[in-house]
Homo-oligomer: A and B are copies of this chain.
Amino acid sequence: MEASGAGADRQPPKAILTQQEQEIAFNRVVAFTDGVFAIAITLLVLALEIPDEGSEVGTELVHQGDDFFAYLLSFAVLGRLWMTHHRFFASLARFDGPMMSLNLVYLAGIALVPFTSEVLGDYGNESAAVAVYGANLAVVSATFYVQVVYAFRKHLVREKFQPYARRYSGPANAIITVIFFLSIPVALLNPAAAIAFWVLTFAFGRRLIDWVTGVKSIQQPSD
């Protein structure tokens, strides 16, 4: 199978992984990804501040309303992103190196959320803080979109999900990413408007794309 000649001659036989070995390798990537999500979502709590000694506990906690809001918002955001990621990975047949690297870039954005969320909780009415959070969501959304497009192009997606290509890797699915990028300048003008923008996107984004592409999202047991 190997050509003769100086260099090729020294080459050991190609070690292809068996089906089972590939599944194990794939499962490790999935477990690693879930691990990062679970840790990031649990670290959100570190943004909440313990009242200083000698202060009124009740009053201090009430004044931390913004921190609690940021906690709940980011929990919902990470939870929702995880569910989406979960569905996407369940549709994959296999993995390759670039896909793994893309997933790591995506995770770098996910792992950043506890930081940008704390900034949002502490400075929610300053435009810079809101813009940073929006930028984080935009980057996460963009790298996820690239993952999906790549997976469909390289036929990493199971055969039966291939007909959904237009729904998931078409330009319509980029709308979400565009909305998050637009929320950055919006935040600089009016922080509250940007936050409302995100909430609407989370609530109606999927239905919007279903409607634009005319293709319903994949039915999964978790729908």
**Copies of this chain:** 4
Q: Which residues of B contact A37 (CB under 8 A)?
A: 32
Tally A residues with Cβ within 8 Å of B. Answer: 90
User: For the complex, is A207 an interface residue (Cβ under 8 Å from B)?
Assistant: no
Tell me the bound Cα distance from A15 to B31 in angstroms: 24
Known: A38-B35, A90-B25. Is A122-B53 also a contact (CB below 8 A)? yes
Known: A25-B90, A75-B111, A163-B12. Is A61-B222 also a contact (CB below 8 A)? no
Assess whether A112 is in contact with B45, with CB atoms less than 8 Å apart: yes
Q: Which residues of B contact A45 (CB under 8 A)?
A: 40, 43, 111-112, 114-115
User: For the complex, is A66 an interface residue (Cβ under 8 Å from B)?
Assistant: no
CB 8 Å contact bits of A186-223 with B (1 = contact, 0 = none)? 00000000000000000000000000011110111111
Assess whether B51 is in contact with A86, with CB atoms less than 8 Å apart: no
Assess whether B39 is in contact with A42, with CB atoms less than 8 Å apart: yes
Stretch at the interface among A126-134, A141-149, A174-182: A126-134
